[in-house]
A and B are shown apart, each in its own frame.
Chain A
Amino acid sequence: MEPLIHIENLYKSFGGLHVLNGFSLDLYDGENLVIVGRSGSGKSVLLKCIVRLLEPDSGALEVLGQPVPQLSQYEMDHLRTEVGFLFQGSALYDSMTVRENLEFPLRRHPEKMKGHDVGTLITSTLESVGLAHTVDMMPEELSGGMQRRIALARTLILRPRIILYDEPTSGLDPITAKEIIELMLRIQEEYHTAALIITHDMDCARVIANRMIILIDGKNYAEGAYAELSMSPDPRVRAFFK
């Protein structure tokens, strides 16, 4: 089976600081791949390289079979509609209502509407995150958990094949975090997406991961299922599960 994301020997450094040192991964259709690592280990840099918010120094990086660093801006913009990105801080447009936040990507990619009208798509997407009643509210009127759900709805409205989650439960209380995790699982079932999740939250990883990669020193240190890694005798791996 062809991977949706294929990364091989990816390198990225900032000045003298080597963040990614030959990192590799393959993400397959329908899979939830969780990457864990310490703060500053390059997890967010990896996600930003995948959507070309950052340019890698070297290595192979393909998304849906297309070489990301070589794509033109036009090709990249179209590829980005297939890859949703949930930011750590939600990154909702604070000058727009919830409706306008969801409309914004849709108006720029009308081919994604597939014959549906904007209003119907917005309502159905908001219903799938359980927040249809917030459609005319401003982001500042919503709680942190609600903002995260709306950000997820904005990602889903373009019906992406892959979703990249950057710390989806950080800054949330345990109950809201649990709700977000359940929502992520439900969305995967409903929209048949693959997910690449970066998290420090091992509860999140335990529930959601089909496979995990532990990122240490900018490269793959260990890889396997949650249960497998949690039993590892290696102290550097076990440190994540304490």
Chain B
Amino acid sequence: MNWDTEFAISIIPQLLQGLVVTIQATVIGYVVALILGLAVAILRRVDYIGPVVFVVFEFIRTTPVLVQLLFVFALAPPTVAPLTIGISVLGVHYAAYTAEVYRSGIEGVAKGQWEACRALSLPPLRVWGAVVMPQAIRKVIPPLGNYLISMFKDTPYLFAITVPEMMFMAKAIGTEAFRSMEAYTLAGLFFLAVSVPSAVIIRRLERRYAAV
């Protein structure tokens, strides 16, 4: 059995439908990861709560996201949509990574900056909002961008909890038509079509922010 171009073209719309779900899950999950990760990075600096938060997210970071997905999917009441579960789990998982990025960004702000803030008696909100975060953000944009691409490439896991993303579609097509070649190859190409240009953009950003 060989490559069947006509069949390949006929399944493109279905796969693109899946790709839309994939991108949806990535974008929303990423926003969750960005916000939650920042909260985690700040909470880790708090006495008593900090170490607990660290251990919990270290556990999340070093265990497979696939197992976490299956686990939450099995526990959640059937009324919760699989896509919601998928986005939440991906978001929390990646918060463990973004928190580390924020942490290194915050620690990368020179000690003298904190001291200058104290010398000017700036209120905490200004210290964080006007001095520390603006400087930290510049350093964290490239690594955070890399995690957006990583997350995009982790969304196929959602197929394991019946979310109709691209991999789910490909598998469904394969089972139905007894042909897997075209669906999986196209899925792979679609992934490349999104992630390679994104990676190029991220590297540009990286160079631009490194230059300043």
Are A and B part of the same complex?
Answer: no
